[in-house]
Each structure stands twice: as C-alpha cells, then as structure tokens.
Structure 1
Amino acid sequence: MNYQIQIISNDDLDQIIPLLYVLNEGKVSTELLKSRFNEMKIQNYECAVIYDGDDLVGVSGMWFCTRHYMGKSVELDHVYIKPEYRGNGLGKQFMAWIYNYVIGKGCNSVELNTYVHNYPSHKFYYNEGFEILGYHFLKKL
C-alpha cells in the first residue's frame, strides 16, 4: 500500500475526532472532543496522520516540551490506527516517520502513555525500544 503520512493543520483537527471517539470507546462525546481540541490548537500540540488515499486510517498527537530529566521531548498522545490496518508494518512505518520528524525539531526523546489493559500496545512499544519509566497517575477533580 502507498500510505501518506503528514502533519495536519490545527485548523483541520476536527477530521480526527471520529478516530478518537473510537479510541476512547465512546466515553468522550464528539462535542467534548471538539471543544478540547479547540483548546489544544493553541497549545504546544501537533498532529500526525496516516491516509490511505482519502481515508484517514491513523493518528498521533504530539506534545512538545522540555523535560528536566530528558531535555527537549515529545509526548505522543492518542496514537491510533484502525484495526483493519494493523499487523502489516504500518505502525512501525508511522513511528519511524514520527521519530524522523521530531528529531528534525530537536527532540532527543519520545514519551507516551498507554492504557493498562491495552496489552497489544505494550508489546508494540516494547518492540519499538520503549522502556517503562514510571507510573502515570490520574486524579479527577
């Protein structure tokens, strides 16, 4: 397949909402996702996507920052590839593209969180050379 991987404009973020709705198992409404992405547009956020022709099949948000323990870093967020596109090397291709892109922006590390119950993603990220550095804690207020 001839996939196209690119950064989309923050003005076009609405097109990723359907994928994120599925990723979040419908627990976050499309209206709330749109509202949150309107805020994210003005923060240190970029979005990489994968197209198969005109079909959006994958997405990864990227938060850029400087970490006291690592230097300039990117945190990947809501990494998702449609299930029917998994298992054929597209994820590895997407990650390689992201690594090259963020290195070009001066990053020297990539971080991410993955849901505890998402075992296939754990295996994928281990195979990509990621290590578990700590635990992600969350407290809703």
Structure 2
Amino acid sequence: MKLQVLTTVDEILSQIEMIKFLYPNMTKERYESFLSDMIPKNYKQVAVFSEDKCIGLTGFWFGTKLWTGKYLEIDNFIVHPDYRKNGIGKLLTNFIDEKAKELNCTCVVLDAFTGNFDAHRFYYNQGYVPRGFHFIKTIDEKGYS
C-alpha cells in the first residue's frame, strides 16, 4: 500500500468513485466545480492505493481560528467497504497527525454525522473527542449532494 497526496483538480477528480460512497449522486461536473473552489483554499486529499486501486482517502485543509489557532480539518474520510477493518483508516489518520505537526497546528478537527456510529467509534479509538456541536441552518436544500 502506498499513500499519495492529491493536489490538483484532475488528480482528485480521478478518484470520484470513492467520493460516491458518501455522495452517490455526485456528478463529475459538480465535483469539479466544488474542487475548483476548494483547492485554492488549501484543500488537498491523501489517498491510499493498493497497486493502482484507491482503497481509502480523506480530504484535508488547514487554517486558523480564534479558538484553536492553526488547525487541520479532515473532510470526507472514506475507506472502500471491501477494505474496512484492515488498518487503512489508521494509515490516513497517522498521515493527518503528521501533517498537522508539520504545519504547527494545535489540533485536528472533523465533523461526523450524528447517526454515523461506526465513524464515532473509529474516531474515539484514534484519540478524537467531541468538543461541541456543529450547528447548521439550511438555506438551500438543493445545494446538498
């Protein structure tokens, strides 16, 4: 297995099938539009490959907030269903931890949907703890994937 950082629209777009595990209705055009907006704002992905097949990936970006200072945020953490419980997620979180240290971040943050108990268990096992609630107010339901 090898880790690869994906930084361009084309590199990231080539792994759209992994994104479809989370967002089955995501179109290539919509994904490309989102990536064109996100990449200039420090967005990247790291992918795990077994030979030429992507079996895990997560997006990440970093910034600064008043409550944390510099932080790194995990975004859309995915392990291919056929490869779960094989250490792929741990490879990704280890990479994220090292990247956060390299960027002098104070913490790594993420959102997990409230009903995604498998993800909650995984993140607890990786040392993450809930710090608060992430509230949303939907303005345009058609904007969701």
- Cα RMSD (Å): 1.4
Amino acid corresponding to residue 108 of structure 2 in structure 1: V
Question: Does the Cα contact within 8 Å between 2:3 and 2:48 map onto a contact in 1?
Answer: yes
Q: CA deviation at 1:136?
A: 1.4
Superposed counterparts of 1:9-28, under 5 Å: 9-11=7-9, 12-24=11-23, 26-28=24-26
Identity of aligned residues (%): 29
What is the rounded CA distance, in whole Å, between the counterparts of 2:44 and 2:27 in structure 1?
Answer: 21
Cα distance in structure 2, aligned partners of 1:16 and 1:36:
14
Question: Separation in 1 of the partners of 2:81 and 2:33?
Answer: 26
1:95-132 Cα distance to aligned partner (Å, 9 max, x none): 11221122112112100001112110000001111111
Question: How many angstroms apart in 2 are the aligned matches of 1:50 and 1:63?
Answer: 18
CA 1:30–1:116 in 2, change beyond 3 Å: closer, same or farther?
Answer: farther
Distance (whole Å) between structure 2 residues aligned to residue 61 and residue 19 of structure 1: 12
Q: How many residues align?
A: 138
- Return the letter of the residue paired with 1:128: Q
Q: Which residue of 1 aligns with 2:90?
A: 92
Of 63, 71, 74, 2:72 maps to 74
SS in 2 for 1:138: coil
CA distance in 1, matches of 2:127, 2:7: 29
Per-residue CA deviation, residues 1-59 of structure 1 (Å, 9 max, x unaligned), is xx1112112241212222112212x2433321221112112112121111111101111
* Structure 1 SS opposite 2:64: strand
TM-score under structure 2 normalisation? Answer: 0.88
TM-score of the superposed pair, with normalisation by structure 1: 0.90
- Match in the other structure for 1:105: 103
Q: Matched residue of 1:42: which SS? A: helix
1:63 paired to 2:64? no
Corresponding residue for residue 128 of structure 2: 130
Q: Which residue of 1 aligns with 2:51?
A: 53
Runs of 4+ in 1 over 6 A off after TM superposition: none
| SS of alignment partner, residue 31 of structure 1 | helix
For residues 4 and 52 of structure 1, the distance between their equivalents in structure 2, rounded to whole angstroms, comes to 7
Q: Who is 2:38 aligned against? A: 40
Gaps of 5+ in 2: 140-145
